Structure 1
Amino acid sequence: MFRLCVLGVLTAGILLLGLRRAEAARVVLAPLDPHSVAFDTARSVSSHMAKAISSSGVDVWGESDVARAFRLDLREHLRMCAGDVFCLTELGTVLEAQRLIFGRLTSRPVSEREGNISYELRLSALDVRRAKIVETLVWRIEVARDQEDSETRVEDMAAAAARRLACPPDLRVAFFVEPSDAVVRVYGERFKLPPDGRDVPYWSGQYEMSFERRGYVPQALRLSFRRSGIVRRVEVLLEADPLFTEGRPDKPVELFSETSRRSGSGVSSLDVARASSAGSSATETGGSERLFRNPYPWAVAAAGVGMLTAGLVLRANAQADYNALAEDVRFLPGVTPSAEAARGVRSDALSSARTGTVLALVGVASVVGGLMWLAGDGGWFGTSHREGSEGPPDVSLRPRGQRPRPGSEWGGILSW
């Protein structure tokens, strides 16, 4: 009886082992579709991806393996599927694959002056049995055109991405970042840190990570993770940015009231010199005194009044001439004007009336413009100027690059 039990256990173990081997994950890695990338570069990157997957003990098939075993052009079939999930699922079923990985490699210039190039790797993993895209990665890296290891960095990025999509995690990493709410990105993709700081499963490979938070100096690190039974610890301490300012202060700040820019005054030396000279030699003036300081709006308003008066007078005279002609009841030879003379008088009257109307309208516009100019100089729209200073007199101690609030500077309405 004991022998039968042992034999049954061994048989069950063999069957389970056979099932596990039958269910061994065959991963089909499709060649990358190059976009603005040399074909040889895309092929080299695909080769490194296959090596990275096979080094983790996963059965990976590439383009040449599929062509040799199934007599299929994998690249052509992927192009025919055009990203359709059902078509890709049928292709994966024919290839007896558990997972199909496909994607593209794109490059674009970042700066013509600096010569930097941005590479974008977009990979998707299709679970053939579930007929579903289970994960998609979009990783980016920026390299210099003349950098010696630029191609190596792209290959490392692709290899790490391939391991993540095709292989199980083979190590554990614990991140300790200060401040704790800093944003961590892996090849441009955001990586969420666990809130309690515990270690997380991860994949071996070369990674380029960035750590950043508002108000701190960002850091970029290149980390190498190898398969290991111990937990890898990554500690990053971000330094506070001494030039960072937390927005515009709600109340006025006296010059030199802060001894360090770390607290955030944000005022430049030019602003300090201008504000100091304005504060030492100028006095605040009221709105009534500022009305008579600029003669130009008064001249505009006076010219407008003159044009309005001239236009009204011209129109009144034209109307009087027309009325005098219209008073004649009947035509008397030698007494009343002839028909030709009457038409001439009426035409002149109409022309003078139109001229007077246009002149009066221009005069009204000039008067309104002059009054609004005076209103702007008088501070009637909530502005405040200092005598003897140029531009906005009260220096607002705001961070560099922050624009003034709308309405804080008056530039005038009319330009003469």
Structure 2
Amino acid sequence: MSAGASIRTFDAAAVAAQFPILQREIDGRRVVYLDSGATAQKPATVLEALDDSYRLHNANIHRGVYTLAQEATERFEGARERIARFIGARPSETIFTKNVTEAINLVAYSWGRRNVGAGDTIVLTPMEHHANIVPWQQLAREVGARLEYVTMTDDGRLDLDSLDTLLALEPKLVAVAHVSNVLGTLNPVEEIVRRSHAAGAVVLIDGAQAVPHRPVDLGALGADFYGFTGHKVYGPTGVGVLHGRRELLEQMEPFLTGGDMIGQVDFHESTWKELPWKFEAGTSPYVEATGLGAAVEWLDALGVEAVHAHEAEITRYALERLSEVPGLTIYGPPAEERGAIVSFALDGVHPHDVADILGRDQICVRAGHHCAQPLMRRLGVPATTRASFAAHTTREEVDALVDGLANVRRIFQL
């Protein structure tokens, strides 16, 4: 299906009708939800899957031999298979975590502390979420490694010549966001993986803002580690995914230890289960996993290509409309190099005030540093206001945002 055909046939209003929360009216106003970058709302099919798990199939997984326990285990492992298929991975390399933050910490502890030492280099970018900075700072401080940052252009793109300069240092790891959660920048991760591997570096990609919005094929991408968070993919909170290359995962020690991840336990030593269970200690979020499985199944049925085409059109429209607002600065690259995110600042008004006034009309946006304080310093601002889009976003909601900004300007007499 061509992008044009996807846009013409994609009915975002019909998609929105599948979300109970989007039917709410607060103070007589329908919710305009433009904060999917923080957390996505949940379609009815996901809510039903969660309710069904608790009502009809609730029992601890991998333990009981009775029917409820077998059903719960089958639903949990079935969700793993659906999620792995959705991202082009193998179930044995698809590990459930609490979120992408835990996934990155798992890699930093289990892979990093075995493979990164004094004097080694870790390469990051200025646009990383704190979840892809702080774990590496901790590792570098502990082992005596150093952090280096790829240069970013003024329009929010990575300078790949700068990357090549840093790759000449033979770094152990390159960690990069697939899509910036502030600028919306779609990074050229395929090229970054290719160049980094040629230099002998392992590559970790934070896919939190990519998996909900565009096709991701990890088999083709070839990244060593790739993580994302379930609640941004229309699934529940409390569950995320780490994909890892099998050879690396097999060499790594567990991040967390205890029940369910063990093969045998004796008084003085223990052995571990095979992948992926070696990294899933304790009772896993089995209900949440089934909800995430339902979410990716729902997204797959919509057609990820169609969702991507629709969101690209909405983002282009938003950039056009927002450019009409006097005194508004938009951060990030052009529409064709951007995900479904637009961050902006209005001259003379703090981003929190912008978000507060919009919120009075039930227009839901995010304001702040977006867990990206180094990027805010690079941009020279304390914060931005961010609108982030989803499969259910309509042009009318973008128009409501622009009208709301006109109201902000009236209130501040701009």
TM-score range, shorter chain: under 0.3
**Looking at both structures, which has the greater relative contact order when contacts are Cα pairs under 8 Å and sequence separation is at least 6?**
2
Larger Rg: 1
Structure having the higher strand fraction is 1
- Per the normalisation by structure 2, the TM-score is 0.22
